[in-house]
Chain A
Amino acid sequence: MIAILDYGSGNLRSAQRAFELSGHETLVTSDPKICISSDGLVVPGVGAFGACMDQLLAAGGDLIIQERIAAAKPILGICVGMQILFDSGSEKGGSSGLGVFSGDVSQIEAPILPHIGWNTVEADPESRLFHGIGEERFYFVHSFAAKRAVDGAHNSWCNYGEDFVAAVERGPVSAVQFHPEKSGAVGARLIANWVGTL
C-alpha cells in the first residue's frame, strides 16, 4: 500500500489517482501508523517552503520520515516535498528543512519566474526513477531549487536559467522537483518505476 502524506498541502486527489494507476492501493492520510508502515510514502508539497515545513511539523511528518529512513522504507518527495528534505530553504526569509540531504534550496536565477512548464531532464545513467525514459519533458512549477549535487546520490538535472537538481535518489529516499503526477504518460512511467522499487 502507498500512503500519500496529508499535511494540509493541496493537490492530493490527482496524486492519489496517479499512484493508483500503478496498480497499488493508495491512501491519502495523516495517520502516523499507516504512513510509517506503508510500502511507500509519498510526500507532496505545494506552497512556500516555510509554510510547508510548519504544516509538516504540525502533522508529525518529520518523525514519520525519520522513522521510515531508519527502517529503509521508500519515500518519494514531490516538488516542495523534495525541497523540505534539504537542510534549509531561503524562500520568504529562510526556514530550516529536515536535513535528510545537505544543502540549501534557493531561488533559481532566471529572467522569468516561477519556472512553469514542461522541461527536459538529464537523468543520471544509474537512476532507477528514469529507467527506460529518454529525452522526455516533465511538468515543473517552482521558483526555488537545490543547485548542488547531493553527495552519494543519483542526481538528475534540469536547466532553466541555470542547472538545478530535478531529481535525487539515495537509499530509500527519492525526490523530484517536477510533478510526475501532472506529467502525462511519461510521469506515469516514472511513478511506475518508483512503485517497482517498493
Chain B
Amino acid sequence: MTQNPDRRKFLVATAAATLLPTLPAFAQGDDQVIVEMLTKHPTDSKLRNVFFPRVTSVQAGQTVLFKATDRSHNSASIDGMIPETAEEWDGRINEDVEVTFDVPGVYGYKCTPHAATGMVALIVVEGEGKLDNLEAAQGVRQRGRAKKVFEEIWEEAAELGFLEPTSS
C-alpha cells in the first residue's frame, strides 16, 4: 500500500506523541495512564476535539484517567467496540473519569457530542486474547468524520505494534 509521505510523518509524530506520555507511567510503575480530552491538539492547532494520546496501550488491570482538560468533552465506550465481557463506561461532560481495564482487548471510545466530528480514540489492553474483538470493533459503522479518524487509528495502532498478538 502506498502512503502519502505527509501522512506517514503525521503518523510517526502522532505515534511519538502517543508513546511519550505513556512511557513515564510504565517507567515509574504507575498504574494510571492519563488521556486528556482537548479542544485543540497540543502540537497541531488544525486538529480540533481530540483525545491525547488517541492510541494507548495499557496492561490488564491498569486504570486510565480521562482528564477533562478542556470543557464540553466526555469519554464513553462505543457500542460494539469493547470486548463482550468488559464493562461499558459513559463519563459526564466536563468531568474526569477513571476506568480500570481488566479484560484484554481493543476498546474504541468517543466524546459523545464530538464523535461525528472525529473525536474518537482507542485503547489496547494487553493480555491473552487481546485481538479477539478486533474484527468486531473494526466492523462497527462510524458516523461522519469518525470513519476517517478510525482508519487512521487502526493504521497508527498497527504501526506502533499494538495489534501484534501478545507473546506469552
A binds B: no
A contact residues vs B (CB 8 Å cutoff): none
B contact residues vs A (CB 8 Å cutoff): none
